[in-house]
């Protein structure tokens, strides 16, 4: 990898594992015997989702949903579209949205509103990381992993222009933001 672009480590593998285990314990407490539907938000949440579900020792189902903005850069309200529908599966299910990061909150607020219209039995939100300093709209995050500073994070699924998702740690890029 280009050393010039090496991110600074914010959370190493062990710190991430500890956070994921804690979330898995909380989710187990609330969802075992409920056969929940976990909906991962692509692409960023796929690494977290893969680690999380292997710590959940009860029946569950998974789906993925993808949001994309029409333009380049950060998502703003009105620029969201859902590319992959899973709406028919939601009614009367215990649904848990699984995200990599909540930044402005626009994506999370949109998803909660959008999926909530399909009448799930319950709808909650799990985020591995939370950047509260950037919040523009309030979001209820029932399962929160790591609170992070206002830096652009990469690794463990998180990308910068599609790069760095494969890093086993979460780091930040100093040149961005
Ligand atoms: P929000 O709608 O502003 O809360 O942003 C949510 C989405 O933006 C996340 O699911 C990420 O895909 C992306 N995002 C926000 N902050 C970061 C970051 O620091 N690194 C990588 N992606 C980010
Ligand atoms: Mg995301």
User: What's the gap in Å between 99 CA and the centre of ligand 2?
Assistant: 6
Is the pLDDT assigned to residue 18 strictly greater than 50? yes
pLDDT at 84: 52
Average pLDDT over residues 4-10: 85
Give dist(CA 51, CA 21) in Å, integer.
9
| Per-residue confidence (pLDDT) for residue 3, from 0 to 100 | 46
Question: pTM here?
Answer: 0.91
Question: Is residue 53 predicted with pLDDT exceeding 50?
Answer: yes
103 noted as active-site residue: yes
Ligand 1 is surrounded, with C-beta below 6 A, by 41, 44, 75, 99-108, 152-153, 158-159
**Rounded-to-integer distance, Cα 144 and Cα 147, Å:** 8
- What DSSP element (H or E) covers 128? strand 122-130
What's the pLDDT tens digit per position in 139-170?
A: 999 999 999 999 999 999 999 999 999 999 99
The predicted pLDDT at position 88 comes to 82
- Which ligand has the shortest distance to the CA of 107? 1
The Cα 108–Cα 140 span in angstroms is: 9
Report residue 70's pLDDT band, with 50, 70 and 90 as the boundaries. Answer: very low
Question: Among residues 3, 2, 14, 11, which one has the least CA distance to residue 151?
Answer: 11
- Which residue in 33, 57, 92, 103 is the catalytic one? 103
Q: Any bridge partners for residue 101, and if so which?
A: 129
Tell me the CA–centroid distance for residue 140 and ligand 2, in Å: 16
SS3 content of the chain, % helix, strand, coil (to 5): 25, 30, 45
Contacts of 131 (CB under 8 A, 6+ apart): 101, 102, 103, 147, 148, 149, 150, 153
User: What length does the chain have?
Assistant: 177
Percent of the chain whose pLDDT exceeds 70: 85
Considering the chain, what is the average pLDDT of its residues? Answer: 90
């Amino acid at each position: 990898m280009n050393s010039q672009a090496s991110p600074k480590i914010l959370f190493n593998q062990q710190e991430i594992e500890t956070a994921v285990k804690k979330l898995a314990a909380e989710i187990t407490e609330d969802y075992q015997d409920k056969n929940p539907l976990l909906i991962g938000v692509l692409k960023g949440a796929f690494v977290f989702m893969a680690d999380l579900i292997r710590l959940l020792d009860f029946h569950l189902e998974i789906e993925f949903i993808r949001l994309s903005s029409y333009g380049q850069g950060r998502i703003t309200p009105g620029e969201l579209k859902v590319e992959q529908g899973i709406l028919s599966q939601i009614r009367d299910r215990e649904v848990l949205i699984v995200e990599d990061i909540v930044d402005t909150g626009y994506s999370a607020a949109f998803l909660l509103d959008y999926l909530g219209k399909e009448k799930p039995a319950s709808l909650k939100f799990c985020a591995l990381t939370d950047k509260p300093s950037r919040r523009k709209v309030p979001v209820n995050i029932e399962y929160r992993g790591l609170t992070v500073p206002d830096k652009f994070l990469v690794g463990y699924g998180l990308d910068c222009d599609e790069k760095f998702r494969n890093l086993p740690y979460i780091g930040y890029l100093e040149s961005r933001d």
